[in-house]
């Protein structure tokens, strides 16, 4: 019984580790590990959306380029305030001094340093104006980049290497031409799918464990019944 319990415990631990979500795996200490950015927001007035990009895990960045992506028929970027993380982060490929201001696209952010920056906190705060007569629905504001290219760091030999990011983007629910809800979503919404797989895997392990335990109990009862039958037979023969 003890061996079976240990076996099932190890199986459960193995299944759980295989389906650990990317956000959990990101909290490692190696300089080559991915960094994590989370977009979260709130509503300011009836037709203004404020999103904050937080660098929550930074394993070291020497250079980074991000592109802001959103539905321009639904909202327009009206202001950007830079935070303390990657302090020399600046906009590129746009001109905020023109009449269009921050609405010019593509709107990209660029950071370039002489060494690895390990700062965390707010990268920037974005303010969007919601357009008139917007159709009810879900709209995603995301930060994009070229994987294995746009995020760099210096390794232990001071050579430039690339890493990637885990980004939780913002999904905006609009109803009656105003923001009804703001939620963070991982890339391709894989986080929720992963947890579904984890739950199914745990349930499967539980079912298998229960089946084994029931089978063992039946076997034990059968052995006890057999012993009792043999004992009763011996008594009857002895009486004869």
- Please report the domains of the chain, with CATH numbers, ordered by start residue: 2-9+194-239 (no CATH), 31-185 (2.60.40.680)
Q: What is the largest CA-CA distance in the chain?
A: 114
Task: Decide if pLDDT at 196 tops 50.
Answer: no
Q: Which of the four pLDDT bands, split at 50, 70 and 90, describes residue 149?
A: very high
Q: Which of the four pLDDT bands, split at 50, 70 and 90, describes residue 97?
A: confident
Least reliable range by pLDDT among 83-87, 113-117, 121-125, 202-206: 202-206
Q: How does DSSP assign 147-195, residue by residue? A: TTTSEEEE-TTS-EEE--EEEEEEEEEEETTEEEEEEEE-GGGHHHHHH
Closest CA to 71 of 174, 2, 163, 148: 174
More confident residue, 60 or 235: 60
**What pLDDT score does 186 carry?**
86
More confident residue, 200 or 100: 100
Instruction: Name the percent of the chain in helix, strand, coil, to the closest 5.
Output: 30, 40, 30
Distance CA 113, CA 116 (A): 7
Task: Decide if pLDDT at 54 tops 90.
Answer: yes
Kindly state the average pLDDT of the residues 212-223. 57
Kindly state the average pLDDT of the residues 208-235. 56
Q: Taking a C-beta distance cutoff of 8 angstroms, is the pair 59, 134 a contact?
A: no
Closest CA to 178 of 48, 72, 78, 77: 48
pTM confidence score:
0.68
Give me the half-sphere count of Cα atoms (radius 13 Å) on the Cβ side of residue 22: 20
Q: Which of the four pLDDT bands, split at 50, 70 and 90, describes residue 135?
A: very high
Least reliable range by pLDDT among 66-70, 115-119, 191-195: 191-195
Least reliable range by pLDDT among 141-145, 182-186, 209-213: 209-213
Distance CA 227, CA 230 (A): 5
Task: Decide if pLDDT at 25 tops 50.
Answer: no
Going by their DSSP bridges, the two strands 61-69 and 137-144 should be labelled as antiparallel
Which of helix, strand or coil describes residue 228?
helix
Return the CA Rg of the chain.
29
């Amino acid at each position: 019984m003890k061996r079976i319990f240990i076996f099932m415990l190890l199986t459960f631990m193995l299944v759980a580790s295989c389906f650990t979500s990317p956000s959990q795996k990101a909290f490692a200490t190696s300089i080559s590990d991915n960094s994590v950015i989370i977009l979260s927001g709130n509503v300011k007035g009836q037709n203004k959306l404020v999103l904050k990009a937080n660098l929550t895990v930074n394993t070291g960045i020497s250079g980074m380029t991000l592109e802001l992506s959103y539905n321009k028929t639904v909202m327009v970027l009206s202001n950007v305030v830079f935070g303390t993380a990657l302090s020399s982060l600046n906009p590129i490929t746009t001109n905020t001094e023109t009449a269009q201001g921050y609405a010019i696209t593509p709107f990209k952010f660029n950071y370039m340093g002489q060494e690895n920056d390990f700062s965390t906190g707010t990268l920037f705060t974005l303010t969007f104006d919601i357009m008139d007569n917007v159709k009810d629905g879900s709209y995603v504001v995301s930060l994009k980049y070229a994987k294995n290219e746009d995020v760099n760091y210096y390794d232990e030999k001071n050579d430039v290497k690339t890493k990637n990011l885990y980004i939780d983007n913002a999904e905006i629910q609009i109803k009656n031409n105003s923001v009804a809800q703001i939620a963070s979503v991982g890339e391709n919404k894989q986080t929720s799918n992963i947890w579904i797989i984890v739950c199914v895997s745990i349930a499967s392990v539980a079912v298998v464990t229960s089946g084994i335990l029931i089978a063992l109990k039946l076997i034990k009862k059968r052995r006890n019944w057999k012993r009792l039958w043999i004992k009763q037979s011996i008594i009857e023969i002895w009486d004869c």
